[in-house]
Chains A and B, each alone.
Chain A
């Protein structure tokens, strides 16, 4: 029976607010062009060994060129080689600068919100002073009233306020922030809409999440991640191999009868070493972080993003992630001598004063089913009996009539007798189906059961399927009992569940998985989640969560949307896939370059080697130059791919590998044959090199 659920009061935004930005935003491009020349500074370039080597050899060719010009040798060919070698480095720098620029722009728009903030700092003597937000230190106390922006990340010490967090989350509905409990954290740059709060600043300037994130995308503090280091070693290996190959080529050439010019040798060397991936590697990393920011997730380190790709177990909180925040009433099941309408009426009355979403849903269901109008309690002279942890029920006293609703066993206790058998059976059925039964009694006589059900978010089953295909186990974490948990788990399609979860059992589960060598990701918001967030390999704290939770995790989701955990995993995988695919592409390219350059190199000594010139390139000079130009241009051509990332597909490792090998491996062999030939033809139009 499909019941339309009333809109929950506070729903997390369902889709991330991706702030779309064109790939080549003109101001960013302009800035990046300038940067790509500034980045030629060897002091910074050495961090990228492959491009650093290219810079050194470019310099060598240039020096040689100058000498040749002075001694008036033929320079047009060498000059064009030198030119394109330099541009190989510049293009690689451009890729990095573009990624940084986009990251910065993203961060800038976040930072703008807090640029000229003024804080009202409370002095020990109780008076206030106005200071720039940048002067705030951890421990300072500030006052923020309606209409003002919160000057720094902090914790509410006193007060309650509605806060507009749209500046960072993109979600326009204001949220309530109050002192104590799990909703006391506030973020710099958000706006207080009503009331006032006293906030204790928790971060020094430059250390808030936003600042950390900005420094991560800006590259200044970007540290290489473990996987990036491993890949770099492999790339250096190829660089060394080709260095040997090219150094040794000269003796071989001399043996064969003629020296090869240095420019040609260096051209071959630069073409062979993995400049494509070497040039794009850092751009790929930065772009990965940037993609997270676009989804309003701030990562504390690149390492965390990489770990996300490796995660094999996702711990998903049931509430808010798998199910909509709250349960809803879906059916009234009366006792044998009671009509359904009667029960609905009583249940509605019992719930009128109950402002919880569950309570509201009972009222709404009664109205929808039987058209029972809401009545004002005041008019009825009713006395509200609130829910307490001891009684575990609530209700009203109405002109001497007592109505109660609550957990089945507490109501049974109140009535002082066993539940009727037919109701007990229903209770079991509901529990098994993952619902929650609430009993209703009037004057200590059981009237029936209200069936409450979790409403599972749409599209999740497909999402879990995808995760499963990608080898990721989804585990639902819930405080519900085993029966309820099992039913919801089955309905939603998660692989496993942890019922009656406490922070301790959650922690145990994480440790157990990790002992088996599995990386675990989870979300959390409460202070009691902090230890587990710290233990998990990827701990995503909700922005609405406490400062403790945020500090324990290694990512913060500004939208506080736990479903996003799956997006984060995909971004992590995408990052690795992009690296692997471009590495394959880069190395596969070498085959064609050999076919272009080797025959050209020995055209003078062994003209028979022209049989290897399968592309039929016009002249040896044109062949070498075409290969060098291709090698430089391919970096630019692949920048969009590096920034956007190779798409992750949930098809299983085998299919994914086959696909990527076909595209980037086989494609990597074929594309340069076509590209080099095309460049050769274009050069022919200009009769260059003559």
Chain B
């Protein structure tokens, strides 16, 4: 309980300093030494100002190459070094899915890491991508912000420079700090073999080890979520102590929260940033309030088995974590497009599942992924501004830029297309045998498993309602499609929005302008997110968690 309050409040406290630091990183004219070396080595000219099309094509090329790179390493890991367990080449379906997954910052895992991936794959392909995909998300967000602040100029900045800076000044230093703290808490960091130990009772146990701490640090910070172990942060070597649990938890939202402040600083009014933060924070708190109380009680099934209703729902939860921290993690990891877990969402009460599913379904905008959460939220802001602006009798404008048909069109594509893909794939999966085969449960819960899988990949979240078997060709390919479309359509929309709005004139603020730095607008924004999310996903949620909840016949 205390953890929930402390973490939520600490988030408010950390946002300004970290956000201000990130502001400096992205706006500084000076080129640092390390940064300069990277440019020299790669032949990048960091000073060219890219139009949105150039920026977007840089993002796409970079991503294509990244994805190929991951794919090739996984397919050839048996011939490459750092493979002490001698794992064979990863099968092509899983490889495609995983390459898409890590490149898109989703970290959906159709495999068990400790039993499939060599250390080299884990480090070079996966952990490295955790940095890059996160940095790409931030670059796109920063480019979009530049569009809002630009004075009738085309350029949105330089993708290569933004990404290099994101990695070496933000993600890397933070990951080192977090990694070292985690190691101090007993998280493994080694290139040695798995340990083989003999228990007191005599049976042999294999304990998988590896370069864990370094991967955990970035998987949390970069809203990646792909753990070293299949159990993710429920595994004791991914999170061992209350301190490591707290640090990892906090790392999930640190950057997505801070970037709202960066946004405020860049547009020259920190209140604009706080409005986004407040809307996200409110939605986050609602999720925690919806999820936690249910987990303090035994599920109807447990009660039927004779467990008192006053016992917490500990199925799928670690004793050392407990119901409060598990619930908080479940909400935070789905607010952000992180997807790491320290408990199994599959075993939550029906309503406990509803909040995480809603969080992901609205498109990962409640803090969301690093960068992607901000531009996703800005799409909703444009919708809110459009409706609100009309209601005060003016052509809508945001941050002094008029919102016209072109902007609305772009935002509509950015919001709608992912919904379309995700709902469409769910519909296919629940109709055909290949889809139905993967379920662990029948009925509404089985539906939830499938639905969750697709919204999770849509939101580039990566968490799962454990239970669904997803390493089949059907699920790996449809999943990869879901992840790729739902990552790059919003990215292109964000950049196109930035490009289209960059060349617009800045209209001066008057008393007749809709203010977007007020509590009222925060409320409107929350309303728009909830209404659009609810209207789109209510039928699906009704047939999944809501029916399940009602069938158990009680509200809490």
Contact = CB atoms under 8 A, between A and B. Distances in A.
A233 B547 contact: no
Interface stretch (B69-77, B230-238, B530-538): B530-538
Contacts of B512: 312, 470-472, 652-653
A36 B387 CA distance: 29
Contacts of B521: 657
A581 interface: yes
Contact of A580 (B389, B415, B511): B389
Nearest to A515: B505
A295 B512 CA distance: 24
B511 A657 contact: no
Interface stretch (B254-262, B423-431, B465-473, B477-485): B423-431
B65 interface: no
A583 to B, nearest CB: 6
Interface string B379-395: 00001001111111111
A252 B540 contact: yes
B510 A473 contact: yes
Interface of A: 226-227, 229-231, 233-234, 236-237, 240-242, 244-245, 247-252, 254-256, 272, 306, 309-310, 312, 468-473, 516-518, 572-574, 576-577, 579-581, 583-584, 587-588, 590-591, 594, 598, 602, 606, 608-609, 611-612, 648, 652-654, 656-658, 660-661, 664-665
Across chains A and B, which 5 residue pairs bring their CB atoms closest together, nearest first?
Answer: A471-B512, A580-B390, A573-B393, A471-B510, A471-B511
B514 A657 contact: yes
B53 interface: no
Given A469-B511, A518-B507, A654-B518, A661 B391 contact: yes
B538 A598 contact: yes
Nearest to A597: B539
A187 to B, nearest CB: 31
Interface stretch (B18-26, B30-38, B399-407): B399-407
A426 B508 CA distance: 42
Contact of A244 (B412, B420, B515): B420
10 contacts: A231-B408, A241-B416, A242-B535, A244-B424, A252-B447, A471-B513, A580-B391, A590-B535, A656-B393, A661-B520
Contacts of A576: 389-390, 393-395
Given A254-B431, A255-B430, A653-B511, A233 B412 contact: yes
A99 B371 CA distance: 47
B550 A240 contact: no
A591 B531 contact: yes
B247 interface: no
Contact of B392 (A226, A236, A577, A611): A577
Interface of B: 383, 386-395, 400, 403-405, 407-409, 412, 415-416, 419-420, 423-424, 426-428, 430-431, 444, 447, 505-508, 510-515, 518, 520-521, 524, 527, 531-532, 534-536, 538-540, 542-543, 546-547, 550-551, 553
Contacts of A236: 412
B447 A517 contact: no
A163 to B, nearest CB: 38
A594 B543 CA distance: 13
A644 to B, nearest CB: 15
A248 B404 CA distance: 31
Nearest to A467: B512
B508 A518 contact: yes
Contacts of A654: 515, 518, 520
A611 B548 CA distance: 12
Contacts of A588: 531
Given A227-B390, A471-B510, A661-B524, 4 more contacts: A472-B512, A517-B506, A577-B392, A609-B550
A230 B404 contact: yes
B405 A251 contact: no
Nearest to A472: B512
Nearest to B391: A580
B391 A584 contact: yes
A572 B508 CA distance: 19
Dominant SS among interface residues on chain B: helix
Given A244-B424, A468-B511, A227 B395 contact: yes
Contact of A653 (B444, B514, B534, B553): B514
B393 to A, nearest CB: 3
A250 B553 CA distance: 26
A230 B538 contact: no
B391 A251 contact: no
Contacts of B551: 606, 608
Contact of A517 (B386, B508, B536): B508
A467 to B, nearest CB: 9
Contacts of B407: 230
A248 B538 CA distance: 12
Given A471-B513, A574-B393, A665-B527, A251 B547 contact: no
A664 B387 CA distance: 11
Contacts of A608: 547, 550-551, 553
Contacts of B423: 244-245, 248
Contacts of A665: 527
A661 B514 CA distance: 13
A233 B409 contact: yes
Nearest to A649: B393
B393 A648 contact: yes
Given A234-B412, A251-B427, A648-B393, A472 B405 contact: no
A602 to B, nearest CB: 7
A591 B389 CA distance: 22
Contacts of A233: 405, 408-409, 412
A242 B539 CA distance: 11
A125 B514 CA distance: 65
A658 B527 CA distance: 13
A255 B447 contact: yes
Contacts of A469: 511
Nearest to A227: B395
Nearest to B426: A248
B197 to A, nearest CB: 46
A658 B553 CA distance: 39
Contacts of A611: 550
A577 B512 CA distance: 12
Q: Which of A237, A250, A252, A272 has the most CB of B within 10 A?
A: A252
Contacts of B426: 248, 251-252
Given A240-B416, A255-B447, A654-B515, A577 B539 contact: no
Given A244-B419, A312-B510, A609-B542, A580 B550 contact: no
A312 B412 CA distance: 29
Contacts of B447: 252, 255-256
Contact of A310 (B395, B419, B431): B395
Contacts of B540: 248, 252
A612 B541 CA distance: 13
A249 B403 CA distance: 33
A594 B408 contact: no
B546 A240 contact: no
A473 B520 CA distance: 25
B508 A470 contact: no
Contacts of A252: 426-427, 430, 447, 539-540, 543
B386 A234 contact: yes
Q: Which of A241, A472, A572 has the most CB of B within 10 A?
A: A241
A610 to B, nearest CB: 9
Contacts of A660: 391-392
Contacts of A583: 387, 390
Given A244-B424, A517-B506, A256 B390 contact: no
Given A233-B405, A241-B536, A249-B539, A312 B393 contact: no
A642 B450 CA distance: 45
A658 B515 CA distance: 11
Contacts of A245: 423, 535-536, 539
Q: Which of A227, A250, A256 has the most CB of B within 10 A?
A: A227
Contacts of B513: 471, 653
B484 to A, nearest CB: 19
